[in-house]
Amino acid sequence: MDWLLILNIAILLAIIGLLIFMQRKHVSFTKRVFTGLGLGIVLGAVLQWIYGSGSETLALTSDWYNVVGRGYVSFLMMIVIPLVMVSIIQSITNLEKSAQLGKMAGWIIGILIVTTMIAALIGVGAATIFDLNAEDITAGEEEQERAASLEDRYSTEIEGASTPDRILNFIPSNIFLDMTGQRSTSVIAVVIFSIFVGVAVLGLRRKNPEQAEFFTKMVNAVYGVVMRIVTLVLRLTPYGILALMANTVANTDFAGILELGKFVLASYVALAVMFIIHLVLVSVFGISPLGYLRKVLPVLSFAFTSRSSAGTIPLNVSAQKNALGVEEGVANMSASFGATMGQNGCAGIYPAMLAVMIAPTVGIDPLTVEFLLPLVIIIGFSSFGIAGVGGGATFAALIVLSSMGLPVGLAGLLISIEAFIDMGRTALNVNGAMVTGTLTSRILGNFNTKIFHDKNAIEEAKSL
């Protein structure tokens, strides 16, 4: 084994040791997360500077760092389906009437879709202000091959799938298959199945309360075990963020970012504007935006480094319940729905920007009502079922572009900088889900202001 590789691994282990030392000294979870984030950035930058992109030593180092980083993400993905299923069933069985479920789901879905449509308009504005045009992006041979591959691979599939077909994909025909997470719509399928189970228990409670009570006790016991697993996994967050951030920075194609600098800048400006809109919405409902921001930053940091909305579900649920004061059922449902629909960054801003960039190349004025109205509507409803993992934005863009009759090749040309932008998009997606849960809980009158104003209430359990 190369001694440089051994040195790189030793450095990572030393930093992990520092984070363990901080935990034993009872340094707060939030401070440990941001320490891991900051040291990961520094470590990644040093590795990039010493070895440069394409180095064999850097590639091997990244593989070993992935044992910690991607391993942590895998642990989170491991508990997503059990957490979603058990938490939603438990939330519904705790309701007094099934009508409360309809109100909860209606507000959550409505806010997610409306904010995605707003995000689409922000994307249109950013592309227009920065004068982005698909013709300005130079494509090398590799980028052209990617574009052609995307057109060949996805265009036929997406154009051949009608809107009713996409809706049918949400319905679980084999719940055991969806429990394995094999489909992009697996999470939402599990959510639907769990809702059916919860509503069935409410009905059973009226006809056979003894059986309903026995099932409820069993679900509560399983829920307790699942939440304990969540707590154990969340303890690894600082180490996971450290390794993920180090790998991200070390392997970032900064040359590609500089070449497409205007698009990257426009993307992050749009993301920042939409994030500000989230904070404005929170403040409109009487919640301190600064207090909200302080409590969600650790979750957003993980979303940024992992690029996985689905993987962030456990942290999302925990932060909403234990730090923000969102009612448990609302937190569970908004986090689950937010990972598969209404993603403001991936399914809102990004497809809108590409559509505006591509439209002039086929003789369409993107600023007309005839173009913008169907674009915003399509983006809103096509955001259902977008996978909450890396690459979901590309799939969302392909659906929107093909639905608008636009060529999809530009999505292939931008893959070289996809990871860098996707970090910001994922953080915005997760924040959108958390804002949705916060607003819904506030609207339904079950928001716990005492927890929100408690400065010591953070997203992890006391034992972390």
* 293 CB burial (10 A radius; 0-12, 13-18, 19+): middle
Average pLDDT over residues 213-220: 90
Q: Is the model more confident about 185 or about 197? A: 197
Task: Summarize pLDDT for 127-167 with one digit per residue, the tens.
Answer: 999 988 876 665 444 445 555 555 555 555 555 555 566 66
Give the per-residue pLDDT at 352.
92
Domains annotated for the chain, with CATH where assigned, are 3-453 (1.10.3860.10)
Work out the number of other CB atoms within 10 angstroms of the CB of residue 76. 24
Note the pLDDT of residue 287: 93
d(CA 316, CA 306): 13
Share of the chain above pLDDT 90, in %: 29
The pLDDT of residue 256 is 60
pLDDT value, residue 99? 66
Using CA atoms, how far residue 85 sits from 175, 211, 217, 222, in Å, is 11, 20, 15, 11
Mean pLDDT of all residues in 345-368: 88
Q: What gap in Å lies between CA 374 and CA 249, rounded to an integer? A: 38
Outline where 151-185 has alpha helix (H).
Answer: 156-160, 163-170, 175-179
Higher pLDDT, 394 or 114: 114
Residue 410, pLDDT score? 63
Asked whether the predicted pLDDT for residue 373 surpasses 90, the reply is: yes
Q: With CA atoms as reference, report the closest residue to 251 among 70, 74, 429, 386.
A: 70
The residue with greater pLDDT, 321 or 340, is 321
Share above pLDDT 70 across residues of the chain, in percent, rounded to a whole number: 84
Burial tier of 214 (Cβ tally within 10 Å: 0-12, 13-18, 19+):
exposed
Closest alpha carbon to 36 in 77, 72, 60: 72
Q: Which of 211, 184, 240, 90 is nearest to 383 (CA)?
A: 184
At 280 the pLDDT is 96
Nearest to 245 by CA among 34, 21, 19, 407: 34
Query: Residues 6 or more apart from 105 whose CB is under 8 A from it?
Result: 195, 333, 337
Which amino acid is present at 166? R
Lowest mean per-residue pLDDT among 99-103, 299-303, 420-424: 99-103
Residue 283 has pLDDT above 90, yes or no: yes
> Most distant CA pair in the chain: distance in Å?
70
pLDDT at 462: 43
Amino acid identity of 147? Answer: A
Mean pLDDT of 32-39: 88
Rounded to whole angstroms, how far apart are CA atoms 280 and 293?
A: 12
Average pLDDT, the chain: 83
Q: What is the pLDDT, as a whole number, of residue 464?
A: 53
120 against 414, higher pLDDT: 120
